[in-house]
């Protein structure tokens, strides 16, 4: 489906179609024969699926996803290479595992009694809740009986089918259609567009998808919460299984698992339905007027234009005349000092304001310690854009004091709200700050950016051979950009 309609408007629908390449190797079809043990091949073969909750290519062309990150860390501990095999259909995953065509499955599988009869699960790493989803413009069902006679579609081979079979024991007339599609998002889109009455999905995926399809609603929970885990063959190599247990025990204790879960899901419930509807409408009505400016800002900074646009929307809702009571102005909401520092003569002129705001964000990123990795580096720089580098540094110092990692956004967003409490800010150099607002600021931008990445294509530079480096392009296209070693001023 190329378009999505909402409230009389039509939005361009460009779904992620990740290339299946990982760790320097292309993923391939499921091996036809059983694979050798890991210790013999020095290669961990992992069966997964292409999904935003498991494994995908991000906006920078890097591979990401909770399962991808977990597997990569596990392979590092084993000191072996890893090969991802992406299943084309969900119902082929477990059969392939039982034939020992992969060492393990990392695909967001829920632990169910039926599955435990034929495969072995490792330690649980996430709890989810199955939910019945419907279109908000239709009558909300209250229970299973309300689903009888309706169009229900679920993925074949999924745990949702198991749960529906259980429900049919008390509601014999319940019927549904099992589809061979790989991804639940396709079904949720059909529900949001009124093509299907109901479907079932896990709670974390529903929350994520509601940011793309605001007409998608949750009717009720189906059954009790379930846990996600890696799956292994019944006769798994005992040493591999033991190492997986040790791995999950360690990452639960040292906070690695918590940080990964927060990286992918910590922000997805921040926006409400009205926020998403308004943003989608603005993408259709207002964004076209400024898209080229945001793309030119990418030329200057090499920051994804969609992130710059998301920042601009959070700041002003793309209103070039926006002015706050504190005096920040323009589409990217610059202070007078920052505008002067960046050589901006008219903050209300988007042609000056947008590239200046993007350049300021780049300056903040470059001012952070080089050891901070992405995406934390970007989220922390965005927090500094909101609260100022001085308060940001106070929060990083405070994070260290309370035994948190100052280089991790997951930890830092716990420290930032403490800047408003006297017991904490009294001893800090820059004193009081509304650090909680900076957290909301960043988390909203993360959501808007995700929506932008789904509906707007990436932009490739139009200056591939203009200069030996990007610097000439920056100098030609941007306002006076401060030296990256200069101390950034608060915007």
CA–CA distance, 135 with 195 (Å, rounded to integer): 10
For 455, residues 6+ apart whose C-beta sits below 8 A from its C-beta are: 11, 12, 13, 14, 212, 280, 283
Buried b (16+ CB within 10 A) or exposed e, 424-463: bbeebebeebbbeebbbbbbbbbbbbbbbbbbbeebeeee
Catalytic pick from 185, 189, 226, 315? 315
- Point out which residues pair with 154 in neighbouring strands: 178
Alpha helices in 368-478 (DSSP H): 376-387, 389-401, 409-415, 422-425, 435-455, 471-477
Cβ–Cβ under 8 Å, residues 309 and 452: yes
Q: Which residues pair with 86 in a beta bridge?
A: 48
Residue 373's nearest CA partner among 19, 81, 107, 60 is: 60
DSSP β-ladder status, 226-233 and 104-110 = antiparallel
3-state secondary structure of 193: coil
Residue found by looking up tokens 């990083």 in the block: 396
Concerning whether 315 is annotated as a catalytic residue, the answer is: yes
64: which strand partners?
56
Phi, psi (degrees; rounded to nearest 5) at 411: -80, -40
**Catalytic residue numbers, as ranges:** 315
């Amino acid at each position: 489906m190329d378009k999505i309609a909402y409230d009389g408007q039509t939005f361009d629908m460009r779904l992620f179609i990740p290339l299946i390449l990982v760790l320097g190797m292309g993923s391939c079809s499921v091996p036809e024969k059983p694979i050798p043990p890991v210790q013999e091949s020095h290669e961990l073969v992992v069966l997964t699926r292409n999904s935003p909750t498991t494994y995908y290519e991000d906006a920078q062309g890097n591979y990401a996803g909770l399962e991808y990150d977990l597997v990569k860390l596990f392979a590092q501990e084993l000191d072996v290479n890893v090969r991802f095999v992406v299943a084309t259909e969900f119902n082929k995953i477990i059969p392939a595992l039982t034939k020992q065509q992969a060492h393990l499955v990392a695909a967001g599988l829920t632990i169910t009694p039926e599955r435990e009869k034929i495969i072995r699960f490792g330690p649980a790493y996430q709890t989810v809740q199955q939910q019945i989803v419907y279109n908000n413009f239709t009558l909300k069902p209250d229970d299973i009986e309300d689903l009888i006679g309706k169009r229900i579609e679920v993925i074949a081979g999924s745990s949702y089918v198991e749960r529906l079979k259980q429900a049919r024991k008390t509601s014999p007339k319940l019927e549904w259609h099992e589809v061979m599609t790989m991804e639940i998002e396709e079904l949720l889109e059909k529900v949001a567009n009124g093509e299907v009455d109901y479907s079932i999905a896990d709670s974390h995926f529903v929350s994520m998808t509601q940011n793309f399809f605001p007409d998608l609603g949750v009717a009720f929970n189906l059954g009790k919460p379930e846990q996600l885990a890696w799956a292994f063959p019944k006769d798994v190599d005992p040493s591999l299984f033991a190492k997986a247990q040790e791995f999950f025990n360690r990452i639960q204790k040292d906070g690695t698992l918590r940080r990964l879960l927060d990286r992918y899901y910590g922000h997805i419930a921040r926006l409400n339905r009205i926020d998403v509807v308004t943003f989608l409408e603005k993408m259709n009505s207002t964004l076209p007027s400024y898209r080229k400016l945001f793309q030119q800002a990418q030329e200057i900074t090499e920051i994804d234009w969609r992130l710059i646009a998301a920042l601009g929307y959070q700041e002003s809702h793309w209103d070039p005349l926006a002015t706050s009571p504190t005096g920040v102005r323009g589409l990217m909401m610059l202070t007078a000092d920052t505008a002067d520092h960046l050589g901006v003569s008219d903050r209300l002129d988007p042609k000056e304001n947008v590239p200046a705001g993007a350049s300021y964000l780049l300056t903040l990123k470059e001012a952070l310690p080089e050891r901070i990795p992405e995406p934390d580096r970007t989220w922390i720089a965005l927090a500094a854009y909101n609260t100022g580098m001085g308060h940001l540094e106070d929060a990083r110092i405070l994070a260290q004091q309370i035994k948190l990692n100052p280089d991790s956004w997951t930890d830092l967003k716990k420290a930032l709200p403490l800047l408003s409490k006297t017991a904490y800010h009294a001893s800090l150099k820059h004193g009081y700050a509304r650090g909680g607002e900076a957290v909301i600021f960043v988390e909203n931008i993360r959501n808007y950016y995700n929506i932008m990445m789904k509906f707007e294509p990436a932009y490739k530079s139009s200056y591939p051979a203009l200069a030996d480096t990007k610097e000439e392009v920056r100098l030609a296209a941007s306002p006076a950009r401060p030296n990256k070693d200069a101390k950034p001023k608060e915007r």
